[in-house]
Amino acid sequence: MPQNVLLAEDDRAIRHALERALTLEGYEVTAVADGVEALAQAHRRQPDVLVLDVMMPGIDGLQVCRVLRAEGDRTPILMLTALVETADRIAGLDAGADDYVVKPFDVEEVFARLRALLRRTGNAGDLTGKPSPEASGPVAPGAAGAAGPAQESGLVSAAGVRMDVQARRAWRGSRELELTRTEFDLLELLVRNAGIVLDHATIYDRIWGYDFGPGSKNLAVYVGYLRRKLDEPGAPALIHTVRGVGYALRED
């Protein structure tokens, strides 16, 4: 079955061009011009993924994100934005978005990010439904085995962090962490590989399925946001930056 994309974009030319490109790529596309109609369509039929323009009249893309997340809807969301400042990207992540593409964009980048989001939500493989090959190297989120943190029946733990992978819940000590989908996947990857320095390319591949290149701030934004949720006053920091290489989770 083709995967359904709910596209909300108020610019008619962009909306029609992207709808046509996605359809040719094999997706089933529902295209709307504003946030009100996007919410109505999402409630009428849950899509596999949403593509939302940030700046729309009335209810904008960020508000659509907030409403869906408040309702408990975890459908992956890709934001289209002309805003390139870090604060703007963080606002999108705060609203519950999983990823973003900056305008003007290459449609191939949109395709790559959609494939990565769909792989992370269990719709692995290409549009024909063929399964993706097994990952090798560092233990990926959702993997059955891990070579460091303790795990049992979907539970993994390291450095004072506990995660119930099946329930998508995580704690530091007794405090439960409120994490977005991407934050959870990133923390799980670090916990499963506790003590190991994971380079940027590996993290991009395991979490997004796509390397955004050396100029991207995407990973740094997510790590910073995850640190703010994970760190506690007077307690040791858990996510460590290895300059020029990547990140590691350990309790010093």
Report yes or no: 81 and 60 within 8 Å, Cβ to Cβ.
no
Q: How sure is the predictor about 116, in pLDDT bands with cuts at 50, 70 and 90?
A: confident
Q: Determine the pLDDT at residue 221.
A: 84
What is the Cα–Cα distance from 113 to 174, expressed in whole angstroms? 35
What is the Cα–Cα distance from 10 to 33, expressed in whole angstroms? 4
- Percent of the residues in the chain that have a pLDDT greater than 70, as a whole number: 81
Q: How sure is the predictor about 124, in pLDDT bands with cuts at 50, 70 and 90?
A: very low
Model pLDDT for residues 196-250, shown as the tens digit of each residue = 888 888 888 788 776 666 666 778 888 988 999 998 888 889 999 988 888 999 9
Asked whether residue 171 carries a pLDDT value surpassing 90, the answer given is yes
**What are the structure tokens assigned to 22, written together?**
């996605």
Report yes or no: 206 and 139 within 8 Å, Cβ to Cβ.
no
Q: Determine the pLDDT at residue 77.
A: 93
Asked whether residue 42 carries a pLDDT value surpassing 70, the answer given is yes
- 3-class SS at 241? strand
Asked whether residue 252 carries a pLDDT value surpassing 60, the answer given is yes
Q: How sure is the predictor about 150, in pLDDT bands with cuts at 50, 70 and 90?
A: low
Report pTM.
0.57
DSSP, residue by residue, 189-230: HHHHTTTPPEEHHHHIIIIISS---TT--HHHHHHHHHHHHH
